[in-house]
């Protein structure tokens, strides 16, 4: 698969290297092509680099790691993103003292989708810290860390889940893009656990489905009054 990454920061560098190791064709784009070139040289695996426009043209899948700045402000035209899978890993700024407000009415991912309505925006990879990717794909796989994925296009969602699985995560299908409101809140929660509660960057949030109880000695679930 051809993967274009916009931005050369921590998440983009980490995921690009991991996908290149899995045999994907990877191209980093940057505001400064020299920065993208350094990342590609560091990564090896025949990875390529250039401008953000070139990365957008190159990828069938685009990894979008620019927080709060929309593609229409970065690319000379967003036409190059039409019909493509856009993976959005962004979370909002951490408020001072981890004093989070109420649930956002709209997610960053929905904002992104409104900016590029002809693309298939998927929320993914926003609930684990960069350090977790350093464990990928082994020994990460043994820990069954959930990678939550949502988006309105089922095939695009499947692509994201496959890409997550290849690098050692346990993909969890969270349905339509609207669920990004919850996933971004989860992104806030894990950062609160990591920084606010000082669990550190290897803290993760995974779904764990238990075996059902063999007997209902507590009376089982009754209809609520």
Ligand X SMILES: NC(=O)c1ccc[n+]([C@@H]2O[C@H](COP(=O)([O-])OP(=O)(O)OC[C@H]3O[C@@H](n4cnc5c(N)ncnc54)[C@H](OP(=O)(O)O)[C@@H]3O)[C@@H](O)[C@H]2O)c1
User: Considering beta carbons, is residue 40 or 156 the nearer one to ligand X?
Assistant: 40
Spatial separation of the C-alpha atoms in residues 222 and 169, rounded to whole Å? 36
Shortest CB 129 distance to ligand X, Å: 4
- Secondary structure letter of residue 195 according to DSSP: I
Q: 10 Å Cβ neighbour count for 157?
A: 24
Residue among 85, 86, 89, 203 that touches ligand X (CB under 6 A):
89
Shortest CB 83 distance to ligand X, Å: 23
Among 53-61, 66-74, 142-150, 211-219, the segment contacting ligand X (CB under 6 A): 66-74
Residue among 31, 106, 144, 197 that touches ligand X (CB under 6 A):
31
Determine the angle formed by the axes of helices 180-191 and 108-115, rounding to 10 degrees.
130
145 binds ligand X (CB under 6 A): no
Shortest CB 68 distance to ligand X, Å: 7
Shortest CB 80 distance to ligand X, Å: 15
Strands (DSSP E) contained in the chain are 2-6, 25-30, 48-51, 61-64, 85-88, 120-123, 146-151, 170-173
User: Considering beta carbons, is residue 4 or 7 the nearer one to ligand X?
Assistant: 7
State the greatest distance between any 2 C-alpha atoms of the chain, in Å, as a whole number. Answer: 65
7 binds ligand X (CB under 6 A): yes
Shortest CB 200 distance to ligand X, Å: 12
Shortest CB 188 distance to ligand X, Å: 10
Number of residues in contact with ligand X under rule CB under 6 A = 20
Give the pair of three-digit tokens for residue 9.
Answer: 């920061």
Contact 167, 136 (CB under 8 A): yes
Closest listed residue to residue 10, CA positions, set 124, 130, 135, 94: 130
30 binds ligand X (CB under 6 A): yes
65 binds ligand X (CB under 6 A): yes
Interface residues for ligand X in 115-144 (CB under 6 A)? Answer: 126, 129-130
Spatial separation of the C-alpha atoms in residues 99 and 144, rounded to whole Å? 30
- SS3 state of residue 75: coil
Closest listed residue to residue 71, CA positions, set 16, 108, 17, 34: 108
Spatial separation of the C-alpha atoms in residues 56 and 61, rounded to whole Å? 9
Among 59-67, 152-160, 203-211, 212-220, the segment contacting ligand X (CB under 6 A): 59-67
User: For binding to ligand X (CB under 6 A), which residues are involved?
Assistant: 7-12, 30-31, 35, 65-67, 69, 74, 89-91, 126, 129-130
């Amino acid at each position: 698969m051809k993967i274009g990454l916009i931005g050369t920061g921590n998440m983009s560098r980490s995921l690009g290297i991991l996908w290149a190791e899995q045999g994907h064709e990877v191209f980093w784009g940057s505001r400064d092509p020299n920065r993208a070139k350094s990342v590609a040289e560091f990564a090896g695996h025949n990875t390529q680099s250039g401008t953000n426009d070139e990365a957008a043209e190159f990828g069938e899948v685009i990894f979008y790691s620019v927080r709060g700045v929309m593609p229409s402000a970065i690319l000379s035209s967003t036409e190059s993103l039409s019909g493509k899978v856009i993976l959005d890993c962004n979370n909002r700024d951490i408020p001072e003292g981890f004093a989070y407000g109420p649930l956002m009415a709209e997610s960053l991912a929905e904002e992104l989708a409104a900016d590029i309505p002809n693309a298939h925006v998927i929320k993914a990879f926003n609930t684990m810290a960069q350090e977790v990717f350093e464990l990928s794909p082994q020994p990460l796989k043994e820990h069954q860390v959930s990678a939550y994925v949502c988006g309105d296009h089922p095939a695009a969602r499947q692509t994201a889940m496959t890409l997550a699985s290849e690098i050692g995560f346990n993909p969890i299908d969270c349905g339509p893009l609207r669920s990004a409101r919850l996933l971004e809140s989860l992104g806030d929660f894990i950062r609160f656990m990591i920084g606010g509660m000082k669990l550190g960057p290897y803290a993760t949030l995974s779904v764990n489905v238990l075996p059902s109880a063999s007997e209902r000695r507590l009376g089982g679930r009754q209809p609520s009054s």
